[in-house]
Structure 1
Amino acid sequence: MRRSAGMTGGTFCVQVLQDGAVTAVDARSARAFARHSHDEFGIGLVTEGAQRSWSGRGQVEAGPGNLITVNPAEVHDGMPVDGPRAWSMLYFSPALVSSVVSDLSEGRVSGGELHAPVVDDARMARRFRTARAAIANGQDAEFEEALLLLFGALQSAGETTPGGTATGLKAVRACIDDDPAARHSLAALARVSGMSRFQTLRGFARLTGFTPRAYVIQRRLDLARGLIRQGSPLADAAAGAGFADQSHMHRAFVARYGFTPGAYAIAHRP
């Protein structure tokens, strides 16, 4: 287990567990988080206060005892309601979730989606606490069982999110995904989409929840996090991900995640 704790508008503790397949974040903060996304599945429990957030699955509010969920690449933000709030999150790698879902479906399905952004269910909250305690204490068998029970319940909660977008806008997203560190001007992205700059800007925001520029920053953060996990110095990670400098990466990191790149690096240090 590797751990980092820091203060950036609150208290954050980050733990990397099960060889990187699970990241635990326990936090208490009054910080409002800018729109961002994660490359993992996230399930968390609000333990104090309340939070209001926007996501691709709608505007939601969660209070003490509520579970909150997020899918990989799902855009969301978060702001406190009447003072600081505290929460405990578990982020799971897509590979781990795929294996869990495969087990739940007896091999019929290998992928999945968490449909309900907020779940008000005391039984599922207890299952989350059981899973969180088991993984913190190194009880792998207990954690596996609790995780299966939790995902089994969450898979049936809520409704499927509708999809379907223009091919040109998907091409814009793919262009950014292929090389986040490159310079992606709106004019160049409009040529990829085959639409005007305004149509590209508006349509892309509807598709992803991000403006093209904000999406570039998010994908650069994803790239930087990967480089940091591999042991790159922070300045090298910033340059390799396309940030102007390390301070630019630092500001973007804190605005979206609440903790610094340095704290993230410490959490992943052997």
Structure 2
Amino acid sequence: MADAGKTWLIEAPGKIERIEACLTDRGYAPHRHDTYTVGLTLSGIQSFNYRGAARASAPGQMVILHPDEQHDGRAGGEGALRYRAAYIAPAEIQEVLKGEALPFVDGGVSTDVRLYRAIKALLHDYQRPLTKLEYQDALYDLALGLRDAAGAALAIKRANREAAAHARDYIEDHLASGFSLEDLERATGHCRWQLSRDFRAMFATSPYRYLTLRRLDLARRMMREGGAIADIAQACGFSDQSHFGRAFKQTYGLTPKAWARALQTPARSF
């Protein structure tokens, strides 16, 4: 187990992005993810600003952050904060809910029992990767739990899922190069502005921000393997190291160097 008196960050094994973190004197600067953040406070008080108000999560409570909503994070009061979190793409929630609005849990903190069961299934057995069926089971329960915790879902006009997915694939194939909405229009055969709306409905963020987030995902993979940050920034399509550093901190709340220093080996299950 990592030292509970120091700031550290652990990544769970497997394809699903899951972390455990301990914060003491260091917090996260304001930042945004293009995913749902679903977390469980293990010890200490998780304090954060979200949608214009100060929030707090005590041990056993869950933090539910909607995609692309700015937030920060720190230990509240005395003592260290320890928590676990998973990052779930909104498109995966849409796959379960099919045509409903993405659920929004007001306030960002919940004690909902159904949500707790789904989130614990994602985060409990932390030392091994989740099987595909195990993840799909938890994802289904999470999507319905989010919908119930958010209240009655509002029906929305169905997005063109095929066009949005085609645009996503094009973006992921062109991470190191620049492109425009006109390029996406030519690649998908769909109106650029309708495509932009469909993309936001499916992925809860814009095509440009999706590109930035995927570049940062690639950069983090390269940083885990070592290498100079300036070289990684260039390889991932950023104009320079300064541009990369700003984008990284705006997304993860830490500078690239601070994030790399905080990484630790996996801890035992709670």
Q: Report Cα offsets for 1:81-116 as digits up to 9, x if no partner.
A: xx977564424599xxxxxxxxxxxxxxxx999x88
- Quote the residue 2:67 is aligned against: 75
Deviation at 1:169, TM superposition (A): 2.2
| Structure 2 counterpart of 1:52, from 39, 50, 53 | 50
Q: Displacement, 1:251?
A: 0.5
Aligned to 1:263: 258
Q: Is the Cα–Cα contact under 8 Å of residues 68 and 205 in structure 2 kept in the other structure?
A: no
**How much has 1:67 moved relative to structure 2?**
0.7
Post-superposition offset of 1:157: 3.0
Task: Please say if residues 85 and 123 of structure 2, whose CA atoms lie closer than 8 Å, have aligned partners that are also in contact.
Answer: no
Q: 1:178 to 1:248 in 2, by over 3 A?
A: same
The whole-number CA distance in structure 1 between the counterparts of 2:207 and 2:231 is: 24
Output the amino acid matched with 1:23. Answer: I
CA contact (8 A) 1:23 1:90 kept: yes
Q: Are 1:121 and 2:111 counterparts?
A: yes
Q: Equivalent of 1:37, from 8, 27, 34?
A: 34
Query: Which of 225, 231, 234 is residue 226 of structure 2 equivalent to?
Result: 231
Instruction: Show the 5 A alignment for 1:87-236.
Output: 88-91=82-85, 118=108, 120-121=110-111, 155=142, 157-159=145-147, 165-166=159-160, 167-236=162-231
Asked if the contact 2:29/2:249 (under 8 Å) is kept, the reply is no
Size of the alignment, in residue pairs? 224
Per-residue deviation at 1:263? 2.1
> Is residue 56 of structure 2 the alignment partner of residue 63 of structure 1?
yes
The answer to which structure, 1 or 2, has the higher relative contact order (CA under 8 A, 6+ apart) is 2
Paired AA for residue 37 in structure 1: D
TM-score normalized by structure 1?
0.60
- Report the equivalent of 2:21: 25
Q: Secondary structure at the match of 1:237?
A: helix
SS state at 1:221 partner: helix
C-alpha distance after superposition, 1:137-194 (max 9, x if no partner): xxx79xxxxxx9xx79x74733388895312222111111223222222210122232
* Letter of the 2:57 counterpart: P
Unaligned ranges ≥5, structure 1? 7-11, 55-59, 95-110, 142-147
For the Cα contact (< 8 Å) 2:8–2:263, is it kept in 1? no
Partner of 2:91: none
Cα RMSD after superposing both structures? 4.9
Q: Distance in 2 between matches of 1:53 and 1:18?
A: 32
Distance 1:232 1:41 in 2: 29
* Partners of 1:199 and 1:36 in 2: CA distance: 23
Which residue is 1:106 aligned to?
Answer: none
SS in 1 for 2:147: coil
CA distance in 2, matches of 1:240, 1:32: 26
Aligned to 1:248: 243
SS at match of 2:145: coil
Identity level (%): 22
Whether the 8 Å contact between 1:44 and 1:88 is mirrored in structure 2 is: no
Deviation at 1:221, TM superposition (A): 0.5
Shift of the 209–133 alpha-carbon distance from structure 1 to 2, 3 Å rule, reads: closer
- SS of the aligned residue for 2:63 comes to strand
SS in 2 for 1:43: strand
- Cα offset for 1:13? 3.5
Alpha-carbon distance change, 205 to 32 in structure 1, aligned in 2, over 3 angstroms = same
